[in-house]
Structure 1
């Protein structure tokens, strides 16, 4: 699919971007353009990969002209760039709006202008029935991406929605391990809190699957396993070998939920079961050929998909962490 293609990755120096590029390079692309604001990360990444097919472009998705320059001659765009931390977006909503909403609109316009074949937008479970500003901006981003398929262009736009990915910058696993080592204490917000989790390597493989099979206009939802945050903390404490590590409950931060959902009640009305790894949320908009493509698939038989359900036990959590290289 990517052989001899030119690929643009916005936010390409982040954890998602680096793993995406690591798995793209064996597929023989002509060029991968790493577009991000962080000069030092680009230099470090260039030294790590040492691959002539990588091009590094300093730029911000808020800058329309910079995006247009980066999109020239590009076949695929993976749009990863975003402000992602819930407390930061709560405290600085206008900055989140400029990056996550206006920046996404710039990506859409640049892709259409330069006849990009497909744009893949990486979304989050927090976009489903959002309770915080970060989730709201990502939900608007999803709407913009879906609507872009009606703009009479040859470019296809698709969303991929997932939960927490282990190993990304700011991941709770890194935080907990640091706290165990430096404080002999883990701070959790609420002992009942649950979250969706997937290893970064598995997330990218699913991303490729959605890229290959999507029509444009749908939202692919990863059916990720879930766990209690307190169980995750206890597994990490046990694996550390440290004794007398405390778990301290600190209370929920602004905008946080006890349980996340990957699909809302409303969305379930137009969602089909694609396979064991994906649900597909179809829009209420009429996009040529989209609903026909998924007519053979069964509709979901539940009203929402919550992290409260089908929770992993500690053995499952330990196996997931081992697979991701964290234990």
Structure 2
């Protein structure tokens, strides 16, 4: 077999055409002799063969010419279809007519039925020889490279077209169909049995299946993903196939997971906060953005550059995020003539912070660096508290010493009577900034409190889209859970505009309208992706919404302010409040206790600091039990 493989590979294209032409010619005497054997009496056959000594060579030469003219030797063995067989049928007809003419010239007449039988036999023999050559060639190749056995899920039009295409494939062997339709189960379609999906585990094991091809392009993507997940449990590779009509452009071939404009999901008109004429006080200034590689920090950097600062310092702990941020912002900086300074490090490092503020003469700090992923901070409370609280304290303290003009903390609505570690850490950071504001005549300290930012890293929209891409379900913890939402552009515009209003110690909040139900948001995302919700009233829908149950300590509804009173600002959609704060001694005691907890690696001591000083984060909050919905 190895010798045959080497010979086959060594054949040139003209040599292969010559072999196929030789087959067409060699079939002529075989068909002639076979026809005489079945059509004539045994004692007359020698007489006819004697007459054929001159007829057969001429007929073979004519056959070679006709076959070449029709281009039959140019057709690849594995490409024969109805058109190819039609050419062979035409060749058989013309060869039979030539046979009639030659016998008339030689005056060796046969009865008319013999010529008809000869044409039919020639057609059958020619087709048989090609099938034999194809199977021999495939056997040689398969011996060198064993075929991968595949199962086709879906016995419809696309599945049958796929099976036909793979029938002569060198390395893939379709073994069977699987189809959900009971009407097809148990039938044989183009030589392959149609089996039941419930038997797939046994089919995969008994038939040595390593790959399943999903040939159901009419199904929605979520349903295909649900089937794929079930199949992958049987340790098989799963691949999905579009329809042939889609491949040639007759039908749309679309990826439904297209980005959704965040403003579309707000349920209100997006707030446009026009910047003051002086660029929110940033024009010609040196601005530092901590956490500048995150989603909020990066948008802050973009809008800061629009205000034409002289220097933009990007302070980021992630090397990759810092690299991507600098790459994205450099063209914008060149347009406005600003210098970008990337700083790799943590805001908890006082010497680094002190050097950066001194070297670049920082005028304004926008502090967005924080660990904000609620479950992750819940699992790692000590690191979260150190970064969010001690990092803010370090940066604020060094800003005051360096004479920075303005310091704006990016906070969260989860800081209001928090029930999780992340929210408690953000509230402690606010108390630190409030304390600095009370005793810093030269530096303006203020805070901006966000709701949930649509489209930011770790937010609900990317999570829902990821769950939809997997075929569902989309999960939330309670039917009645609500959250305030804002777009990334709104959030950053609020920071810059509110920062220009700051006089010291304020908490600025955006009027975000009514909170939005998470379940309504989930339904809207599913609908905007082009799918339908599957529930009791719509069992044929694409995506199921599952309610997992509200976890201990988790809020049904978030709040924006700790107190009741708030005042307006020059912008109708931005208001501010002066909330109760801790004394300088109390803040110092909290920071000292937290530093001791970090130094000794004591999680419980760090959480005790939060319970001692943060309103709402007290008894009943058990570490590890709180989790965030979005």
Task: Describe the shift of the 1:230–1:189 C-alpha distance in structure 2 as closer, same or farther (beyond 3 A).
Answer: same
Post-superposition Cα deviations, 1:209-248, rounded to whole Å, max 9, x if no partner, equal 1111110111112221321000001011111113411101
- 8 Å contact from structure 1 (residues 133, 255) kept in 2: no
Counterpart secondary structure, 2:424: helix
More strand by share: 1
Counterpart of 1:157? 445
Distance (Å, rounded) in 1 between the aligned partners of 2:325 and 2:578:
37
Distance (Å, rounded) in 2 between the aligned partners of 1:238 and 1:219:
37
How many pairs are equivalent? Answer: 284
What's the CA shift for 1:70? 1.9
- 8 Å contact from structure 2 (residues 508, 577) kept in 1: yes
Distance (Å, rounded) in 2 between the aligned partners of 1:169 and 1:222:
21
More helix by share: 2
Counterpart of 1:64? 350
Distance (Å, rounded) in 1 between the aligned partners of 2:523 and 2:581:
45
- 8 Å contact from structure 1 (residues 87, 253) kept in 2: no
Counterpart of 1:184? 472
| Counterpart pick for 1:279 among 561, 575, 589 | 575
Counterpart of 2:546? 248
- 8 Å contact from structure 2 (residues 433, 446) kept in 1: yes
For structure 1, which segment, 240-249 or 155-164, has the greater mean C-alpha deviation from structure 2 after superposition? 240-249
Distance (Å, rounded) in 1 between the aligned partners of 2:454 and 2:401:
35
Counterpart of 1:45? 325
What's the CA shift for 1:67? 1.3
Flag structure 1 segments of 5+ consecutive residues without an equivalent. Answer: 287-327
Counterpart of 2:522? 233
Distance (Å, rounded) in 1 between the aligned partners of 2:496 and 2:575:
15
**Paired residues for 1:26-45 under 5 Å:** 26-45=306-325
Task: Describe the shift of the 1:179–1:284 C-alpha distance in structure 2 as closer, same or farther (beyond 3 A).
Answer: closer
Distance (Å, rounded) in 1 between the aligned partners of 2:579 and 2:465:
41
Task: Describe the shift of the 1:31–1:180 C-alpha distance in structure 2 as closer, same or farther (beyond 3 A).
Answer: same
Q: Which has the bigger relative contact order, CA under 8 A and spacing at least 6? A: 1
Distance (Å, rounded) in 2 between the aligned partners of 1:213 and 1:71:
23
Q: TM-score, normalised by structure 2?
A: 0.44
Query: Is 1:55 the equivalent of 2:55?
Result: no
Counterpart of 1:305? none
Distance (Å, rounded) in 1 between the aligned partners of 2:461 and 2:440:
44
- 8 Å contact from structure 1 (residues 123, 159) kept in 2: yes
What's the CA shift for 1:280? 1.3
Task: Describe the shift of the 1:39–1:285 C-alpha distance in structure 2 as closer, same or farther (beyond 3 A).
Answer: closer
Counterpart secondary structure, 1:154: coil
What's the CA shift for 1:282? 1.1
Counterpart of 2:155? none
Q: TM-score, normalised by structure 1?
A: 0.83
What's the CA shift for 1:284? 4.6
Distance (Å, rounded) in 2 between the aligned partners of 1:254 and 1:134:
15
Distance (Å, rounded) in 1 between the aligned partners of 2:479 and 2:558:
15
Counterpart of 1:76? 364
Counterpart of 1:141? 429
Task: Describe the shift of the 1:195–1:283 C-alpha distance in structure 2 as closer, same or farther (beyond 3 A).
Answer: closer
Counterpart secondary structure, 1:168: coil
What's the CA shift for 1:254? 5.3
Counterpart of 1:309? none
Distance (Å, rounded) in 1 between the aligned partners of 2:408 and 2:528:
37
Task: Describe the shift of the 1:194–1:188 C-alpha distance in structure 2 as closer, same or farther (beyond 3 A).
Answer: same
Counterpart of 2:56? none
Distance (Å, rounded) in 2 between the aligned partners of 1:109 and 1:239:
47
Distance (Å, rounded) in 1 between the aligned partners of 2:472 and 2:395:
44
- 8 Å contact from structure 2 (residues 293, 324) kept in 1: no
Query: Is 1:25 the equivalent of 2:314?
Result: no
Distance (Å, rounded) in 2 between the aligned partners of 1:171 and 1:153:
37
Counterpart of 2:560? 262
Distance (Å, rounded) in 2 between the aligned partners of 1:280 and 1:129:
18
What's the CA shift for 1:77? 0.2
